[in-house]
Amino acid sequence: MQANDESNASSRIRAEQVPLVDKTSKKDAVVQYKREKHQLEDLKQEMETDMHQIPINELYSRLETNPNTGLSSEEAKRRLVRDGPNALSPPPQTPEWIKFAKNLFGGFAILLWIGALLCFLAYGVDYAMSENAIKDNKEWRLFIAAWNLGIDDSAQWITVAQLSFIIVEELYLGVVLAAVVIITGCFQYYQEAKSEKIMESFKHMVPSLHNTVLYWSMYVIVVHMLHSLWNNFAKVWRDGKLHEVPTEEIVVGDIVEVKGGDRIPADIRLIVSHGLKVDNSSLTGESDPQSRVAECTNKNPLETANIAFFSTNAMEGTGKGVVIYTGDRTVMGRIAHLASGLESGETPIAKELAHFIHLITGVAVFLGISFFIISLAMGYHWLDACVFLIGIIVANVPEGLLATVTVCLTLTAKRMARKNCLVKHLEAVETLGSTSTICSDKTGTLTQNRMTVSHAWFDLNTMLADTSEHQTQAKYDLSQPTFRALLRVAGICNRAEFKANQDLVPVLKRECTGDASDIALMKFVELAEGDVSELRDRNRKICEIPFNSTNKFAVRPTLVSIHESDTPDDRSYKLAMKGAPERIIDRCTTIMINGKEQPLTRDHREAFDRAYLELGCLGERVLGFCDYTLPLEKYPPGFAFDTTEVNFPLSGLRFLGLMSMIDPPRAAVPDAVGKCRSAGIKVIMVTGDHPITAKAVAKSVGIISPENETPEDVAMRLNIPVEEVDGTQCKACVVHGSQLREMTKNELDFIVGHYKEIVFARTSPQQKLLIVESCQRNGAIVAVTGDGVNDSPALKQADIGIAMGIAGSDVSKQAADMILLDDNFASIVTGVEEGRLIFDNLKKSIAYTLTSNIPEISPFLMFILLNIPLPLGTVTILCIDLGTDLWPAISLAYEESEGDIMKRPPRNPQKDKLVNERLISFSYGMIGMMQASAGFFTYFVIMGDNGFLPLRLFGLRDQWDSRAVNDLEDSYGQQWTYSSRKVLEYTCHTAFFVSIVVVQWADLIISKTRRNSLIQQGMNNWTLNFGILFETVLAAFLAYCPGLDKGLRMYSLKLWWWFPALPFSVLIFIFDESRRAILRRSKRGSFVERETYY
């Protein structure tokens, strides 16, 4: 008894726990969702850590590691199990079956599936009824007996045909509808899969460009970098020994060593640094290599110089550090996780298509249900009413339209690929055309992504250097002694080197090793004077001392070198020095002017200050140069120079001049920015670079126009503090990342909405994301360009993300919707133009396709309301939508623009819809009515030819469709059997179909243009011209091909039955030409435009 009680109690407890488990799981799901959302919001905030600030010994204690011996192997394994591998988690992938299901059951497919199911339902009911009818049919039993006796009776054959027709008609239509949905779904899935395969093959694709050698070399470098990211080994101290460990097995607390050429294997804090420089461009956007040291230099972990970040490259020097973050917890991992966690909203074209689908679905359902009810009220059998419902649905749904849209977008994507824009998602083609704001990165997108000498100041004058992309016109006057001396120091006091076997490669395209500034100087000397290696051979280097000033080590390296004289008779040594201009001139007492050495006076110093300020205000990196001839008696040949305890002079030198460098704008960018401005597109620069540099580049490319001033410009002009300037009166501004950090959302929204020309500088990845979100809150459709990991969250959040194909990181390419194969901003403008054109052409294609809906729907309406024999069959409608209309609709994608589409503002997504009421009114209420009139006119002509005048047809449907009536009289008393009537009916279906094709000729021609005359537009679209021929030939084939009377119920026509629709085709053309003529002569916003311009 006690056992039973315990068992019941146990059962009761388990029963009570079941709903609790469900509630708990639901609660857990909610908690999980909130946790993920909180994590995403946390990732949007800037990284906060004190790992770079705390004393190094405290860091060792926190990480439980030893700087001399590293971790033990056992401890490293435990941490690897605890933290996971040092790799980025792959982004979630959508299963292929879900993609396929979306294509199979999305959009109009649901309506067609409903139609197919109704057909199968009607078939099932009809089949059951016909089975009973056959069993009870005396004539059927007599026919079977006669058949067994070998007696042929054609009257009985008619009865059999009638009963068979009942069984197969609905099944046939259901199968056709299901096949249509499956085929179009498979086609759309194929197009998407094809686009994804193109993207997958991108890593193995070489851009086919004019500058093949340059881009090939850059491509190899990028691929090598990506390859090394996944397959790299790092030098790690374990158990007191230096081991090579796979990057994925590195854990927090490991002590690692890096040298020039290595990939930084994790986020590490430097313990020791010997001239270590890293390339942070993919992470922060800074184009110059950044020095890394053991001391903390900034509270911001992204700005400090004692942290080297995962995935960045060590350019030169050596270093040793302790791993503080690995995998997804690194700065790069946080950015990548943020990018993958952001949800991509619907593209503008997706919203437009959804709006269109809802509109047409609503019309189809409303008409279908309405006439279903009307049919029942008029006494029709419910199965007949279902047939009406199916006909209305099929007639309303443009079955081939979504396939047409997909093909049009694919064709445009291919055109864009030929223009160096690789589209990952087809819908992105149109999104770019809808763009109203472009947030562009600076380095590599607006600029050439290579430091180039832009100015040289010597003999108290400034010389402008050639900064064009090819520098084919670079010629310099070498007769100036000071200039030659300046070139000599720039060439020999330089650690950059050309890689071997590149003698036949143009100078600017040669691969080099060394600092970006040194490379720029070396290439400038090579172009100006000749062979740098020969110059260095003549001035053999004896020793050199690289060192950094105490407060400018991160950006102002100074280099001193001692060389032999290049003059055979001169045995003295020459000292050469370059570095921060103010440091260089402080070490000089003389200056070389016009080849003569003069004392350095105050006037010279003032001229130097003016030149330095002028070049600095241009956002250029300025270096000073000086030299000195060491006295032969004090420093004879073979003198032992000591670079540790310096035993030669570093002051009293001769100043030669200045050279400034900049990453120059691409040649095509200013024109592209101008086109954007003409097109009403705001271009915002968002960069991690210095504000002065960013502002200078923005002005040079036209993002900040000459007539607009920033608050800083106004303050400088009026000689007042910036704080006293009313910033709201300015049209341009430069916002520093530190200012952005203190702003609220409303303050940022005001800046984005108020200022027409904006530059954001020193921005973090999270701030770039906030800028994009602010633009979107202001109602903009935002395109974002970028190449670094730091750009990926913004790329993902944007309406369309555009990554760089050559210099872009793998993370940025994954986050983007489009990839520029040539990394050129000008290609974006081409894409905008293509996007605007495809939107216009899709409007035309939809207008053309929808027009035939009215002549397809109206036969069913007249069939019910006027009780006439059905003028057009359901299968015939499919022949139009999926046959004759398909090629012409696609051909409109090749139509040229009607005017300069880059002179008009971006479309307003709230007002300028892909399908609006004017388009529906024009297609249905005007052209569609004329086409329906053509179809009915042809129908009545053929019926009249065969004896059935129009008045005789009204109210004839019941007798016409009755299988029992085989003596129906026409207007002249001639009797018609059921089978002969059906042949005539199917002939009328064919004629109605042909008449729609004839009037669609005119519809296709008028769809070429919405405003221009056909004479202005011309007939140069040969794909469209062929489309007219195609639909005519296809219509003739369907009408006259033997056997299609059984499959499609198409019957041959007399030749002259093609002509009744021709006057209506001419009428449509004349009507629309007249409408457009009135439209062009009317003012903007006139009645004609408001009511008919779609």
Q: Which amino acid is at 440?
A: S
Can you say how many angstroms the Cα of residue 829 is from the centroid of all Cα atoms in its chain?
A: 13
**CB contact burial 888-900 (16+ within 10 A = b; e otherwise):** bbbbbbbbeebee
Query: Could you give the CA distance from residue 500 to residue 511 in angstroms, rounded to a whole number?
Result: 9
Distance of CA 360 to the CA centre of its chain: 29
Encoding tokens for residue 415?
């055109």
- Residue 761, classed as helix, strand or coil, is strand
Residues 6+ apart with CB under 8 A from 693: 619, 620, 662, 761
The answer to whether 1007 and 1073 have CB atoms below 8 angstroms apart is: no
Is residue 675 within 8 A of residue 902, CB to CB? The reply is yes
Label the pairing between strands 437-440 and 682-686.
parallel
Dihedral sign of CA atoms 50, 52, 56, 59 in order: positive
Burial of 639 (0-12, 13-18, 19+ CB in 10 A): middle
Tokens of 95: 């299963």
Gap between the Cα atoms of 522 and 491, Å rounded? 6
- Angstrom distance (rounded) from CA 1021 to CA 919: 23
CA distances from 535 to 677, 745, 765, 844 (A): 48, 57, 44, 66
Of 1024, 1052, 1020, 1055, whose CA–CA distance to 1038 is shortest?
A: 1052
181 neighbors 881 (Cβ within 8 angstroms): no
215 and 209 in contact (C-beta within 8 Å)?
yes
From 279, 441, 466, 1072, the catalytic residue: 441
CA pair distance 872, 865, nearest whole angstrom: 15
- For residue 605, the Cα-to-chain-centroid distance in whole angstroms is 52
Q: What is the dihedral of CA 534, 538, 539, 543, to 10 degrees?
A: 90
Helix and strand element counts for the chain (H, E)? 41, 28
Residues 877 and 784: their CA atoms lie apart, in Å, by: 44
Task: Give catalytic status of residue 262 as yes or no.
Answer: no
Q: At what angle do helices 1022-1040 and 978-1006 cross, to 10 degrees?
A: 180
- Please tell me what DSSP assigns to residue 54: S
Strands 573-579 and 557-564: antiparallel
CB count in 10 Å sphere of residue 1083? 7
How far, in Å, CA of 182 to CA of 165, rounded?
A: 26
Element (H, E) at 161: helix 154-200
- Report angle CA 487, 515, 650 to the nearest 5 degrees: 60
> Element (H or E) spanning 875, and its range?
helix 874-879
Cα pseudo-dihedral 715, 719, 720, 722, rounded to 10: 30
In order of 616, 687, 695, 713, 1068, the CA distances from 691 in angstroms are 12, 9, 6, 13, 60
Q: Where are the alpha helices (DSSP H) in 587-644?
A: 602-617
Quickly list H helices, 852-873.
853-865
Q: Tell me the catalytic residues.
A: 441
